[in-house]
Structure 1
Amino acid sequence: MVAGGGTAGHIEPALALADAVMRARPDARVVALGTERGLEGKLVPARGYPLEMIPPVPMPRKPTLDLLKLPLNVRGAIKQTRAVLSRVGADVVVGFGGYVALPAYLAARGRIPIVVHEANARAGLANKVGARFAVKVAAAVPDSGLSSAEVIGIPLRASITELNRAALREEARRFFGLHPTAPTLLVFGGSQGARSINNAVAPLASEFAMAGIGVLHAHGPKNTVAVQQIPGAPPYVPVPYLERMDLAYAAADAVLCRSGAMTVAEVSAVGLPAVFVPLPHGNGEQALNGQPVVNAGGALMVTDEELSPEKVRDVVMPMLGSPQRLQAMSAAAQGTGHRAAADVLARMVLDVVGK
């Protein structure tokens, strides 16, 4: 049973583990646990895995009426989760954090072995609780706050870890309608886009074109950008959403993006030089996620507050204009990646089942 619902950052590592388990043991069965509120209702069935639903138990960040209801909500979710674990005959529960993982950990405690994986640089509440009962704890990076964690990286899907950017480059450029040879920047701000990134990059469309730089910009399905195209120059291609991230990575020479844990892991694994713009909200974990790649020389970091068209003009454009710099950054980024994380975690999980 994999428990990683809510956001793609929790779901994708769970599905990457599921794929790795099935590669290692085709006779195995993997079932995902989720709620109606998360993206798992769309992502899990699309990957071919059964999905069992439980009530969501979000953790209130402030003292509200919801906080008073929390014990009762948790108790109900635990009861339903135990029924699911019994019905599917779970031999191990693997949690990836978030409000699906907490009921799973509490339901499995003392009954079924627990394995915890922490993707972020700073562990969340659910995984801190789960780690206390787990037989194995893994983390993406050191110093996550889980003292017993083995650092393995983040499980990634095979379409990313096996991506040959050079071999796919021509097909990827053609797929998006990009210039076949011009240096190309990939811009995205997560599945919903990022307004600050859009506002900093889109106004420079004509300048990118005049500099001979192509742009593939995923602006988010709820946002729009107006860009000026220059006839004969490399096109600026705005799209609402990137269904084929593998082709987007293959088409690009560098990326400007947020630094969520999954994004950092994927960008590093494929060796793309990056300019990370951490999300300014939360506990600062996005800056922590990207810092190891910055320290290694594979990325730059610009705060959301600093980001502007002028900053993009001064920092990003010169980077795209230097093939030597891009090559050095690419090698440095790839050196920080963990391409085998899914298989490592799968061996860990199967070993727990074997024991």
Structure 2
Amino acid sequence: MEEQREAYINAVGTALPGDPVDNARLSKVLGVNEEWIDVFIGTRTRHFARDLGTGEVRWTLADLCAQAGERAMAAAGVDAAEIDFVVLGTATPDTLMPASVNHVAEQLGLDQLPTYQLQSGCAGAVQALDLARTLVTGTGGRGLVIGGDVCSKHLDLRRDLSQATPSELVNYVLFGDGAGAVVMSPEPTGERVALRRVLNRLTGLGRAPGQVIEWFGLADRDSDKQAIYEDYKAIEESVPVMAVEILWELLEELDWSAEQLDHLLPPQLAGRMTRRIYEQLGVPGAREVSCVADTGNNGNALPFLQMERLFGQMAGGERALAVAVESSKWIKGGFALEKLA
């Protein structure tokens, strides 16, 4: 009987566009209260792929994903010929067609291989890792797994927001842009981090979405529908509860005790809420690995940004667990990592 293959993360790479934008600059551009951003959101800086003054696009999603992918491949010591598939998770593709993953492949010189694009919010990166793990263990191939979002494409940064509703205003200060990538293979090389488990489950039957991003075609682009809607109260109430459920479900599946957990990667909604969720998870012995206060909420880039920070401090034999919640239709996500001794 053939031995079951494992999936290992060999290297990680990330890309953040331009210089960080702090709350003082953002409040001046948007005409919103700086103290409100500091206290209510708790995020200090974020990065934008568009110029704050002119609105000019300086980086596309494909640009950022290609940068992250190139850095991950370089760190893993592999070239284009050694990549067998590409998976991209995003909520903000550059175009509906061609899929952004194929523009990324073009920039990286990848051809004659399967590409997959999963359109999802904060759970998209977890879904990409889930699919990649299945491909690695099933085929023995080596893949490039990418997550990224350019949220600023949905925001009019030059708009007068003095009359904006709280559900709309929060999106202007919460989100940022960025991308991350890992090389995954059946070989424990490079970082030598095993992907032990992935949780990816829709749990939103009968529940109203917590977040909606509209798509406008030629027929409805002039409608008065709000482009982005966020039920922040529902998110504040539900995400911490779901995060606790995810943590203990993964620990039970892995037969790990909370005391055996060395690092914890909590959901990265915003600086203030992330800290609150970490405290509610109740695993003080596990070191928190967070980035959102510095990077902003850049969606599917976040788990890869967290992994980059994690790998810089993770010792052999240590274990880490990541929790992700998507509020669009309430998806539970998470994954478990273990660095070989």
> Is this a same-fold pair by TM over 0.5?
no
Select the structure that is richer in helix.
Answer: 1
Considering only CA atoms, is the larger Rg found in Structure 1 or Structure 2? 1
Q: What TM-score results when the alignment is normalised by the length of structure 2?
A: 0.27
Select the structure that is richer in strand.
Answer: 2
Which structure has more RCO (C-alpha within 8 Å, separation ≥ 6)?
2
